[in-house]
Amino acid sequence: MTVESSEQATLKVLQDKATHLRIDSVRSTTKAGSGHPTSCASAAEIMSVLFYSVMRYDPRDPHRPDSDVFVLSKGHAAPILYAAWAEAGAFPREKLLTLRKIDSDLEGHPTTRLPFVDVATGSLGQGLSVGVGIALHAKQFDHSDQRVFVLMGDGESAEGSVWEAAQWAALRNLNNLCAIVDINRLGQSPPTMLQWELEIYKARWEAFGWQVLVVDGQSIPRSDRSLQNRRPGHRSSDHRPHADIEGQGVNWHRGS
């Protein structure tokens, strides 16, 4: 098998996994009769690339000190987080259908009762601040090459706390921190303020001192290329934190 064909096979696996994540998110929220399936669907390719190509972790021991950390700042997309860990083998896939049941740990927003959740999220705009703290501890106290990935929504980007955290991360040169902003255009009801204005998002993050790439969030090859550059061991003299602005989407979940 040539290098090119091997890469194509890997990308095909990642696309298949993204499809599985999207299907499992829809199945679990349908079974529960509530939830946010479209917020999950817009992040399926991002989650596939992160969990099955970029991040280092052991699904049987999520708290290993050499594991990377993932923070789902848009906590209402919890079903796709659960689907990603089930696909990785952390628990049986059938358990996904217990989402939001009174006796299930798979709540509507992730909680730290789950061994693979480092921080409970759902109060929007808080995930990046927590990610900054974890990244600071890893870099300045543990002196480890642990990386911290924070998946955010575009709606929560209107929160002032996001920009306070962004400013502080740049001040501390946290180049072990990567924020991924899932641009799907709509918040709870009306469109987000910037809607599809990806270049404005880019300019804002750059103004706060971040290294920024704008990526088609539904393109596995482009997301993979972008996020591979955030992996431990990637050689870079740039000490800025990283932000990936991932927009667009397939028709049925655009604007959700």
Torsion sign (Cα): 208, 125, 185, 247:
positive
- What's the pLDDT score for residue 157? 86
Q: Are 110 and 121 in contact (CB under 8 A)?
A: yes
pTM of the predicted structure, to 2 decimals: 0.90
Contacts with 142 (C-beta within 8 Å, 6 or more apart), sequence order: 65
**Domain spans, the chain:** 3-253
- The CATH H-level (homologous superfamily) assignment of domain 3-253 is Thiamin diphosphate (ThDP)-binding fold, Pyr/PP domains (3.40.50.970)
Residue type, 222: R
Please classify residue 167 by burial: count the beta carbons closer than 10 Å to its beta carbon, then call 0-12 exposed, 13-18 middle and 19+ buried: middle
- What's the pLDDT score for residue 99? 97
The first and second tokens of residue 10, run together, are 């890997």
Please classify residue 1 by burial: count the beta carbons closer than 10 Å to its beta carbon, then call 0-12 exposed, 13-18 middle and 19+ buried: exposed
Q: Are 155 and 187 in contact (CB under 8 A)?
A: yes
Query: Which candidate, 181, 177, 180, places its Cα nearest to that of 241?
Result: 177
- pLDDT above 50: residue 254: no
- What's the pLDDT score for residue 240? 84
- pLDDT above 60: residue 237: no
Residue 126 — very low, low, confident or very high, per pLDDT cuts 50/70/90? very high
Question: Which residue carries 């499992």 as its tokens?
Answer: 24
H or E segment and range at residue 70: strand 69-72
- What's the pLDDT score for residue 218? 80
DSSP, residue by residue, 213-237 = EEEETT-HHHHHHHHHTTSTT----
